[in-house]
Structure 1
Amino acid sequence: MQGELANKVIFLTGGAQGIGRECAIAYARAGATVVIADINLEAAQATLTNDLCGIGLALHCDVASSESVGAAIQHTLACYGRLDAIHNNAAISTPSKPLHETTSAQWDQIFAVNLKSVYHTTLHGIDALKASRGCILSTASMVGTLGQENHAAYVATKGALIALTKAMALDYAPYGIRVNAISPAAVWTPLLRQWVQEQPDPAATEDFLNDIHVLGFCPEGDVVADAAVFLLSDRARFITGVTLPVSGGAELGYRRLVTR
């Protein structure tokens, strides 16, 4: 619906590419001012210029650093004077390994980016969200509910994020702040394509990602962006603590990989 996010300021982490980029485009189309906070400033600026017509902000932000996140949110407030939503989208997917093959450094890094980042954005943004009675949205994953082989640390971060969403929804409901998550199965993004290439048989893995979706294909990020717009809009005003599947039915029943 056109204009359903009109006059809202949205702080979007990892908004330079993939699902984040699609969300930035959808938010702007719905009337929001989008702050693209990304560790890759050049890519964030390109998205702002090429896809958002230069309206909004592109900021360097390392979500694993409290100082970096705090500076980016303060810059946002200095420019716009308000903050209506935080979308915790930034994530990394490596390493793609069982737990015992994951190094301590890899474990710490993926938890810092995928999970502790939510602590950082909430810590620095909560007062502004209380003032606006705003929203928090996080990009989770179906693997956080169902599990996935050879991806232990990533699965752990997404499962924790789903649980954290429920806890935050309870804590911040008295302030009128809604907290939700989106849970894709597989979505074609640069992150997923990188993961596919790390698998023993990338071609078979790509076929599998298409086949697991009941609707018959692995989608692009726009399907997630449409759901994100809804969850940040007033149409979702009585929805909180929810992890919304945007999965093409991938979690329904059991589907075998067909040998080709």
Structure 2
Amino acid sequence: MMQQLANKVIFLTGGSMGIGLECAKKYAEAGAKLVIMANDKASLETAIAILGKEHSAFFGDISNELDVKNGIELALNKYQKIDVIHNNAGIANPAKPLHETNDAEWQNLFDVNLKGILYTTRFGLESLKQTQGCILNTSSLVGEIGQENHAVYAATKGAVNALTKSMALDYAKYKIRVNAISPAGVWTPMLRQWGKAQENPEKIEKYLDDIHILGHCPEGDVIADACVFMVSEKARFITGHILPVSGGAELGYRRTD
């Protein structure tokens, strides 16, 4: 995997913690230069301290058009190109059924989980045309199979899947590949927050282990390894694909006792 991404410039949203930070570390190990955009200054500083000063951080709101425009411009001014846009930033709360979700919660989930893809594409597409680069979206298995008490989050991830396929069709003529990565459970701060909000938080860890037929809920490095492959030349003939990195969670119900 080392130097698989040598000389590539990756614009990564939500790259300062959780799956995003694991991706950032793997991308850097593989030789890429990174611009990480996130809305938490402390975690951005920590991420750059881990990655090294040859990488860049940009503080901003992924659902804000001007912030994303400025972030893309920072990447282009510093590195003169963008080879990969990884739309990873997202939120999962609140965990509620649809009728309990208020308008502000609905709007916030759609703004964060989808507008970022709109804006990074709007401002980064011309550079991707020049580099014949690729776009990777972080989706979720719930976008395909649904999730109890998580209706709006699941709806946003279903929309990410549909966007990914449509974008792949639209941008193939420019030799730009567009794919999505689709985890089930992954131990991140966001998932732990979700677990604490459940009716029986103490049972969540076993539940999350059991839904993966390989027997455990993974850390973010397993997702990051798949992402390195998907944005590399080794995946050069893959586009419009929603790749499950899910330990087989999508294969169906099973007995665990």
TM tier relative to shorter chain:
over 0.9
Matches within 5 A, 1:106-185: 106-185=105-184
1:207, distance to aligned residue in structure 2 (A): 1.0
What letter is aligned with 1:166?
A: K
Tell me, yes or no, if the aligned pair for 1:41 and 1:58 is still in contact at 8 Å: no
Map of 1:236 onto structure 2: 235
Cα offset for 1:41? Answer: 2.2
Equivalent residue, structure 2, for 1:204: 203
**Aligned: 1:32 with 2:32:** yes
Q: Retained in 2: the 8 A contact 1:10–1:84?
A: yes
The answer to whether the Cα contact below 8 Å between 1:208 and 1:257 also exists between their aligned partners in 2 is no
1:61 Cα shift?
2.0
3-state SS of 1:44 partner: helix
The aligned counterpart of 1:223 is: 222
1:41 aligns with 2:41: yes
Letter in 1 for 2:3: G
Matched AA of 2:199: P
Deviations 1:46-83 (CA, angstroms, capped at 9, x unpaired): 1111x212221011121010110000100110111000
1:96-107 to structure 2, matched below 5 A, reads 96-107=95-106
CA distance in 2, matches of 1:255, 1:48: 42
1:68-101 Cα deviation digits (max 9, x unpaired) = 0000100110111000000000000011000000
Structure 1 segment 51-62 matched on structure 2, within 5 A? 51-62=50-61
2-side partners of 1:120 and 1:104: how far apart?
22
Equivalent position SS for 2:249: coil
Distance in 2 (alpha carbons) for counterparts of 1:61 and 1:134? 24
Q: CA deviation at 1:253?
A: 2.1
Unpaired runs of at least 5, structure 2: none
2:41 & 2:172 partners in 1: Cα distance?
A: 34
TM-score by length of 1: 0.97
CA–CA separation in structure 1 for the residues paired with 2:53 and 2:114: 30
Which whole-Å CA distance do the structure 2 matches of 1:126 and 1:169 have between them? Answer: 13
Matched position secondary structure for 1:180: strand
Match of 2:213 in 1: 214
Q: Which aligned runs of 4 or more in structure 1 are off by greater than 2 angstroms?
A: 255-258
Determine helix, strand or coil for the equivalent of 1:83: coil
Distance across 1 between alignment mates of 2:208 and 2:175? 38
Superposed CA deviations along residues 163-201 of structure 1, whole A, max 9, x for unmatched, are 110000000000010000000000000000000000000
3-state secondary structure, aligned to 1:97: coil
Aligned to 1:77: 76
Q: Deviations over 1:132-162 (max 9, x none)?
A: 1100001000000010010011000000100
CA distance in 2, matches of 1:125, 1:98: 35
Report the CA distance between 1:116 and its aligned residue: 1.4
Q: Which SS does the other structure have where 2:243 is aligned?
A: strand
1:53 and 1:83 map into 2 onto residues whose CA distance is 19
Structure 1's unaligned 5+ residue stretches are none
For this pair of structures, how many residues does the alignment match?
A: 257
Identity %: 57
Deviation at 1:242, TM superposition (A): 0.2
- Structure 1 residue identity aligned to 2:69: G
* CA positional deviation for 1:220: 0.2
State the SS of the aligned residue for 1:183: strand
User: In the alignment, is residue 20 of structure 1 matched against residue 20 of structure 2?
Assistant: yes
